[in-house]
Amino acid sequence: MRGIVIVGGGLAGLTLGIGLLQRGVPVTLHEAGRYPRHRVCGEFINGRGIESLRRLGLLPLIEEAGARWASAAAFVSGSREGRPLQLPSAALCISRFSLDALLAEQFRRLGGDLRCGDRWTGGWSGEGVVRANGRRVAQARDDWRWLGIKAHVRNVKLSADLEMHFSAGGYVGLCRLPGDKVNVCGLFRQSASERVLPAFLPEVFSQRGGQLLGQRLLSAKWDEGSICCVAGLSYRRSVVENPDECSVGDAMSVIPPVTGNGMSMAFESAEAAVGPLADYKEGQCSWQRACEAIRSEGRRSFARRIKRASWMHWIILQPVMRNALLPMMGNWDWLWRVFFRLMR
């Protein structure tokens, strides 16, 4: 039986490959990079993706690898800090450095053909080829672009398991990781003419993340090997609709990171693609029908979420609206729970 070719070995690509191998479908996965490695990511899973991992039998592996559960989040705007809020459903925190390597090992253990350092040069329209190679790069818009930066630090005290710090033109998320580490991940609006990676990273987070974040990071010990950056991020308000290709994960849609739902959606989209692709390999449907089933499920699962998140992303970057919304969520638990459900 001819196998499925997956291009891209991130969360969605590896998880899809594992799901197909569990169904007896041969899989070849082409990954331009190597494992382990750091990626720009909030590094916590919260939402329906946890159930996807459970159904695929991957949740116990991730827990055994040392992932920690988070139960509370706090929001900060400049020097105004809200009280910690209980997450309606717990989040699972683990570094991408560990998680990608864990999934790659499981993929190989199940007999998958993982070709690292192998950049795909074929097209996307061939039968049996799945695009899972991450975000689609966007051109600078009106001389600006979105820039994502991430690093691991130690010696940082948080008021909650997850913190989100908002400021003019961006925001920074902090997440407690195993081993007394904290993931610091920021999304900033940057001039297209600026350097992609600022010269002094701690100063950038402090300046763009607000006063309280600067104080928290004052005595932080930075893991220089964890520093990474990505530019040209694109946040669409819809799922990518291309009848000539099959895509999963960020190649299908990217939700603004303010929702904390990106990793979850990668696992959800991968799980949703397993059934149609397995049916195709077993001769139960055509390639076109399998791809349409995957796109249809993407629209059903993600379209509303992405639109709502895009509006929230815009609102939260408006100082007046942000400073009105955050105290309301802190004072009214029902509003926080409604916001949480809408984003998931």
Is 188 within a domain? no
Percent of the chain having pLDDT more than 90?
49
Q: What pLDDT, in 10s, does the model give residues 103-119?
A: 999 999 999 999 999 98
Q: What is the mean pLDDT of residues 308-329?
A: 78
Q: 80 burial class (0-12, 13-18, 19+ CB within 10 angstroms)? A: middle
- Whether the pLDDT of residue 193 is over 80: the answer is no
Domain range spanning residue 294? 4-138+235-342
Read off the pLDDT band of 260 (50, 70, 90). Answer: confident
Say how far apart CA 207 and CA 130 lie, in whole Å. Answer: 41
pLDDT surpassing 90 at residue 153: yes
The span from the CA of 168 to the CA of 142, in Å, is: 18
pLDDT score at 206: 66
45 pairs with which residues across the strands?
92
Q: Does a structural domain hold residue 150? A: no
CB 184 within 8 A of CB 151: yes
User: How do 181-191 and 221-233 pair as beta strands?
Assistant: unpaired
Q: Which pLDDT band holds residue 304 (cuts at 50, 70, 90)?
A: confident
pTM: 0.91
Q: Please count the structural domains in the chain.
A: 1
Torsions phi, psi for 39 (to 5 deg): -135, 155
pLDDT band per the 50, 70, 90 thresholds, residue 1: low
Q: Which of 3-7, 82-86, 151-155, 253-257 has the lowest mean pLDDT?
A: 253-257
CA-CA distance, 7 to 5, in Å (whole number)? Answer: 7
130 domain-assigned: yes
Tell whether 186 is covered by a domain.
no
CATH number of the domain residue 322 falls in: 3.50.50.60
pLDDT score of 232: 65
**Position of tokens 């049916």?**
279
**Residue 230 falls within a domain, yes or no?**
no
